Amino acid sequence: MIQVKRDLQTALQSALAEVAAGLGDAPVPAAVLESPRQAAHGDLAITAAMPLARALKTNPRDVAAALLQALQAQAAVQRWVQSLEIAGPGFINLRLTAAARQAVVAEVLAAGECFGHQAASGRRVMVEFVSANPTGPLHVGHGRNAALGDCICNLLRSQGHEVHREFYYNDAGAQIATLAASTQARLKGFEPGDEAWPEAAYNGDYIADIAADFRARKTVHADDREFTASGDVADLDGIRQFAVAYLRHEQDLDLRAFGVRFDHYFLESSLYTSGRVEDTVRRLVASGKTYEKDGALWLRTTEYGDDKDRVMRKSAPAGADATVPDGSYTYFVPDVAYHIAKFERGFARVINVQGSDHHGTVARVRAGLQAAGVGIPPGFPDYVLYKMITVMRGGQEVKISKRAGSYVTLRDLIDWTSRDAVRFFLISRKADTEFVFDVDLALKAGDENPVFYVQYAHARICSVLAQYGGEPDHAHADLTRLTAPSEAALMLKLADYPDMLARAAAEFAPHDVAFYLRDLAAAFHTYYASERFLVDDDGLARARMALLAATAQVLRNALALLGVGAPQAMVREAPVAQEAAA
């Protein structure tokens, strides 16, 4: 059916061009075939008559009538469409032939895990995500970031992009100094609540763990660094380096447990040691887009759509040179330097996954990149901003973790539920919407738990195929036997997968995959409840096994994009749908 849709889109484009020319040579709308909101309205819908009518200033139903007539003359429509009808203000609903619907089964089985994927384009894309400073365990917000970033990477790769995964972190600055001071206080025997405990110190138990390992002169290994402790309580710089390496190692363990990997770790400190920050400031000053005011250096970001100009260098004496030591710049200046480095490394497309508290960063970073005059296009980089999460357990909000001291960690969430549940739940809503993670729901083995509902669909199919004797030779299946209404609905849902995948990748919307999976699982469970599979008619049984195998393949493919497993066996505690006798 993928080829069917392509043929029909080509036919629609030709018909639209013909109608537009015949009615006044209006701009030709895109040839888009949509899925009707209600199955009773047909298999596909065309809405192009309405925008075309607006351009022509005429009645949309008249345009729809002309478009319907032009479509009926197209060979692809004559081959694959059973009926066309005009509805509402100018919609055209299409009902496909049975053969058109059935074609998707063979397409899925032939493509396997590559179904819906596009050929390699050679276009390099960077996704920067997680980017947590090494000052404590990863919290649930980092988990949402990791799930979103990883799924976006998978989606982009499915559409032929060469994807680079990057983790950026601050390995210096005030937060790292606080981490070192907190660890040193523990080494001196102080605890939270003691009079000598630093006011701004980190209070979690993990600080005591770092101090104990530093005192024991242990060596820690992270993906990007290694450090051996001196054990000397006065060695503040050594404490700092050990604490950073220790927490980077902890982050690595959390991310591995979550199934997330990175190609590169980028240190903020390298922007200073390499001279990139100073070079960026010189570029901005030379561009004429900066000015001195109140002892500070400002960038005219309002010239690029920002709501106000932004400070680049705080409290610098009037007339001081713009290239000043590390630590004197506001945080968006190294961000600009970092994104220039991304562009110079050959990434024409960059996506940053960040918390919604970074909303104000978007305009100023983009303004700085334009002002720098290095050839970066407007709108670079793209941002996916997400909101934080509320965790509920036992009907109560969980606010703290003993280990972290002030928040729920990603590891807590995985330990309480499972990696599959956490990953599925964290991308099951749009990134910019608030989300409540219900631990009790994630543990349920019933249809109200969305990840169980989807995984159980796959397990059910595996059970039926096993009872049949494994997956048969589907090449000899007579797919014309698949005529039941629930079969037609399931095949149409399978055919939606490639378009959904392309749209989700283009819009950085992994939640679309979760929505699709729930719809596909629902279509399968309805099929399971309404038809028998292990029937005496071998031709019908073989055709149905082919449809089941294709459904299982698409379920596996989509779950893999989310980093979620597709188990072959599961136990449920309540019916997902009415059972059908085998």
More confident residue, 225 or 189: 189
Query: What's the confidence (pLDDT) of residue 300?
Result: 95
pLDDT of 323 above 90 = no
Contact 487, 547 (CB under 8 A): yes
Query: What's the confidence (pLDDT) of residue 582?
Result: 38
Contact 424, 562 (CB under 8 A): yes
Q: Rounded distance, CA 407 to CA 100, Å?
A: 53
pLDDT of 208 above 80 = yes
Q: Rounded distance, CA 175 to CA 178, Å?
A: 5
In the predicted model, what is the mean pLDDT of the chain? 91
Q: Could you give the count of Cα atoms lying within 13 Å of 17 in the half-sphere of its Cβ? A: 7
Query: What's the confidence (pLDDT) of residue 75?
Result: 93
Query: What's the confidence (pLDDT) of residue 23?
Result: 64
Task: Kindly provide the residue ranges of all beta strands, DSSP E only, lying in 307-347, ordered along the sequence.
Answer: 310-313
Query: What's the confidence (pLDDT) of residue 362?
Result: 93
Please give the average per-residue pLDDT across 530-542, as a whole number.
Answer: 94
Query: What's the confidence (pLDDT) of residue 223?
Result: 81
Residue reference for tokens 């600055």: 173
Closest CA to 242 of 268, 221, 264: 221
- Where is average pLDDT lowest: 3-17, 325-339, 341-355? 325-339
Closest CA to 479 of 548, 552, 542, 551: 542
pLDDT band at 451 (very low <50, low <70, confident <90, very high): very high
> What is the phi-psi region of residue 563: left when phi exceeds 0, alpha when psi lies from -120 to 50, beta otherwise?
left
Measured CA distances, 182 to 22, 136, 141, 202, 214 (Å): 77, 11, 23, 6, 13
DSSP 19-44: HHHHTT-PPPPP---B--SSGGG-SE
- At 69-115, the pLDDT tens digits run 999 999 999 999 989 999 988 999 999 999 999 999 999 999 999 99
Closest CA to 525 of 445, 457, 446, 452: 457
Structure tokens at 293: 């005011």
Does the N-terminal peptide bond of residue 381 adopt cis geometry, omega within 30 degrees of 0? yes
Burial of 484 (0-12, 13-18, 19+ CB in 10 A): middle
pLDDT of 123 above 50 = yes
Domains and CATH numbers, the chain: 2-96 (3.30.1360.70), 174-260 (no CATH), 274-385 (3.40.50.620), 450-561 (1.10.730.10)
Contact 173, 271 (CB under 8 A): no
Nearest-10 Cα torsion for 201, 203, 204, 209: 70
Structure tokens at 199: 């006011």
Element (H, E) at 92: strand 91-96
Kindly report the number of other CB atoms within 10 A of residue 37's CB atom. Answer: 8
- Where is average pLDDT lowest: 158-172, 404-418, 434-448, 544-558? 404-418
Q: Rounded distance, CA 218 to CA 228, Å?
A: 6
Question: What share of the chain in percent tops pLDDT 90?
Answer: 75
Query: What's the confidence (pLDDT) of residue 471?
Result: 65
Helix (H, G, I), strand (E, B) or coil at 276: helix
Q: Which amino acid would we find at residue 101?
A: R
Q: Rounded distance, CA 412 to CA 128, Å?
A: 24
Query: What's the confidence (pLDDT) of residue 64?
Result: 92
pLDDT of 326 above 50 = no
pLDDT of 165 above 50 = yes
For 341-359, what is the HEC assignment?
HHHHCCCCEEEEEEEHHHH
Angle at CA of residue 555, ends 578 and 126, nearest 5°: 145
- Where is average pLDDT lowest: 144-153, 176-185, 306-315? 306-315
Question: What share of the chain in percent tops pLDDT 70?
Answer: 94
Query: What's the confidence (pLDDT) of residue 320?
Result: 47
Q: Rounded distance, CA 296 to CA 313, Å?
A: 6
Q: Which amino acid would we find at residue 522?
A: A
Strands 290-293 and 264-267: unpaired
Query: What's the confidence (pLDDT) of residue 327?
Result: 42
* DSSP state, residue 99: H
Nearest-10 Cα torsion for 224, 225, 226, 229: -140
For the chain, helix, strand, coil in percent to 5 are 50, 15, 35
Task: Kindly provide the residue ranges of all beta strands, DSSP E only, lying in 260-341, ordered along the sequence.
Answer: 264-267, 290-293, 296-299, 310-313
* DSSP state, residue 329: B
- Where is average pLDDT lowest: 4-13, 35-44, 253-262, 347-356? 35-44
CA end-to-end span of the chain: 29
- At 225-271, the pLDDT tens digits run 899 999 999 999 999 999 999 999 999 999 999 999 999 999 998 99
> What is the phi-psi region of residue 571: left when phi exceeds 0, alpha when psi lies from -120 to 50, beta otherwise?
beta
